């Protein structure tokens, strides 16, 4: 614990990844953990590991701002379910990691704490919205971290900061409390420096809970099992751009450079991609609808304190008609079946995490709605998550690589109940582990 706190003290002031820190709570938790071990008591999967939670997750007795000036002094009286689980597994809460306001955006900045910087190049963005977690991991301030993801918020900062971010299937990590308990658009998930560490953290986060009606019945402990696997003959669909989305040449080159790695493992790679022609439209409708529902109780006096993109999404959602939402859901169903049929021929789909390398901090990032220089920045993540809420018939996964790094990234897809349902995520984690072996985490650490 003292080693991590010392690292935070030295590194965090220049990067602003951990925005609320309670070192005394951490030291007290460490002493209690040592005492439990000395008494020979059973120890949790995460015994003694320090963790700082994303500042969208409520933590009892620790300030939780959601990155908004509306909540800059808010201290919850209780923990969210995911915090309860991680504490029960032995993790020790020491603070909170930075996020854009209400998690909206791919630049980790808010008016309460300011901006989090990329540890590999502080002139570049660290991504978002789980940017604080990604930077804390990349620099050794934390060994594990939680994050959340609606449109790439676990995946994009993982890519930009060279760590692992896994977006689980809806219900894999149950959400409570939640105003939209049946929604699968936003999820919680693990982040870590290696696939093995991410799997260990997922084993503590995952598992059923009656307070979440979509929670998956499988226990989380299954992700703690060894990830070794034979990949001989595994069929992989290989896509540089998901059939025509703009992708920076440096990103495409980084992806192609790793194709021989999979072939050396015995995989059969084939250039192929499903069609996602209307995915962007579907996502924007469902996202706006979700924002409008989530901010139902926000009055006009409070609306003026929200950042433009949050306010714009709420306003867009409030103008949607039942016909527009229904049409988006119908199109999403058709998209699911197209993806289901495509994946009958492959076990994995491999593609870039993001269409561009980390952008300059001084350059305004795309607001993902009203157009800008990087108007297609997140469409890869958006189209993938639309399929994510459904249950494909086999182990659908996407392992993503980014320019200038070796970040093995995987996405869990939920399979239906039955023979394959119990193994939906593990093949993806196994693939990530084998790919990660080609570039150990120690060799990827920033020089800061």
pLDDT, residue 373, reads 38
Q: What SS3 class is residue 445?
A: coil
Return the SS3 of 187: strand
Please name which of 78, 409, 51, 3 lies closest in space to residue 201, comparing C-alpha atoms: 51
Number of domains in the chain: 1
Assign residue 10 the CATH number of its domain: 3.90.1300.10
Which structural domain range is residue 385 located in? Answer: 2-444
Query: Would you call 383 helix, strand, or coil by DSSP?
Result: helix
Place of tokens 């920076």: 248
Q: Which of 68, 106, 130, 153 is catalytic?
A: 153
d(CA 230, CA 48): 33
Q: Which residue has the tokens 């309670």?
A: 22
Neighbouring CB atoms inside 10 A of 29's CB total 20
pLDDT score, position 439: 62
Catalytic residue among 68, 106, 129, 183: 129
**Residue 100 CA, distance from chain mean position:** 14
Residue-wise DSSP of 170-211 = TTTS---S-S-TT--SSEEEEEESSHHHHHHHHHHH-S--TT
pLDDT for residue 259: 97
CB atoms within 10 A of CB 75: 13
Contact 314, 298 (CB under 8 A): yes
Angstrom distances, CA of residue 176 to CA of 59, 144, 169, 208, 209: 13, 21, 16, 12, 9
What is the per-residue pLDDT for 376? 43
How do strand 235-238 and strand 268-271 relate by DSSP bridges?
parallel
Residue 203 falls in the annotated catalytic set: no
pLDDT of residue 444: 67
List average pLDDT for each run of 10 residues in the chain, which is 448 residues long.
98 98 98 98 98 98 98 98 98 98 95 98 97 98 98 96 97 97 97 98 98 97 94 97 90 96 97 90 96 91 94 97 98 95 96 93 51 45 50 40 38 32 59 68 72
| pTM score of the predicted model | 0.89
For 284-320, give one letter per residue: b (16+ CB within 10 A) or e. bbbbbbbbbebbeebeeeeeeebbebbbbbbebbeee
Q: Is 331 a known active-site residue? A: no
Q: What is the pLDDT of residue 366?
A: 45
What tokens were used for 424? 């939906």
Report the pLDDT value the prediction gives residue 49, as an integer from 0 to 100: 98
Q: How confident is the model at residue 299, as a pLDDT?
A: 86
pLDDT at 113: 98
To the query of whether residue 169 is one of the catalytic residues in this protein, the response is no
């Amino acid at each position: 614990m003292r080693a991590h706190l010392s690292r935070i003290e030295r590194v965090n002031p220049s990067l602003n990844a951990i925005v609320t820190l309670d070192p005394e709570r951490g030291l007290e938790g460490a002493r209690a953990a040592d005492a439990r071990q000395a008494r020979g008591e059973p120890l949790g999967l995460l015994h003694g590991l320090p963790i700082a939670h994303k500042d969208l997750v409520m933590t009892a007795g620790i300030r939780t701002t959601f990155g908004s000036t509306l909540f800059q002094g808010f201290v919850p009286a209780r923990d969210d379910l995911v915090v309860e689980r991680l504490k029960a597994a032995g993790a020790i809460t020491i603070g909170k990691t930075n996020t854009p306001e209400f998690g909206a955006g791919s630049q980790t900045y808010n008016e309460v704490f300011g901006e989090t910087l990329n540890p590999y190049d502080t002139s570049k963005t660290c991504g978002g919205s789980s940017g604080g977690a990604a930077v804390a991991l990349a620099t050794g301030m934390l060994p594990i971290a939680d994050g959340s993801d609606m449109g790439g918020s676990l995946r994009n900062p993982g890519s930009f900061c060279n760590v692992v971010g896994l977006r689980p299937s809806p219900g894999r990590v149950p959400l409570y409390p939640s105003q939209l308990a049946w929604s699968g658009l936003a999820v919680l998930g693990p982040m870590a420096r290696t696939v093995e560490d991410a799997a260990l953290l997922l084993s503590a986060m995952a598992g059923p809970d009656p307070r979440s009606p979509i929670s998956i019945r499988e226990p989380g402990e299954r992700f703690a099992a060894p990830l070794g696997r034979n990949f001989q003959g595994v069929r992989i669909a290989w896509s540089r751009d998901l059939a025509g989305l703009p992708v920076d040449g440096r990103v495409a080159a980084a992806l192609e450079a790793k194709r021989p790695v999979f072939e050396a493992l015995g995989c059969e790679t084939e250039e192929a991609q499903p069609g996602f022609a209307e995915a962007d439209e579907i996502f924007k409708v469902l996202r706006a609808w979700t924002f409008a529902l989530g901010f139902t109780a926000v009055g006009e006096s409070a609306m003026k304190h929200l950042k433009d993109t949050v306010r714009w999404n709420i306003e867009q959602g409030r103008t949607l008609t039942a016909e527009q939402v229904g049409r988006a859901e119908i199109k999403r169903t058709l998209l699911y079946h197209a993806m289901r049929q495509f994946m009958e021929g492959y076990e994995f789909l491999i593609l870039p995490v993001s269409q561009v390398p980390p952008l300059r901090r001084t350059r305004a990032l795309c607001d993902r709605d009203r157009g800008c220089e990087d108007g297609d920045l997140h469409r890869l993540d958006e189209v993938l998550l639309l399929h994510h809420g459904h249950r494909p018939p086999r182990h659908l996964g996407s392992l993503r690589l980014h320019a200038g790094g070796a970040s093995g990234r995987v996405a869990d897809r939920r399979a239906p109940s039955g023979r394959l349902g119990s193994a939906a995520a593990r093949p993806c984690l196994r693939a990530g582990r084998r790919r990660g072996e080609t570039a150990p985490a120690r060799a990827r650490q920033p020089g800061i």
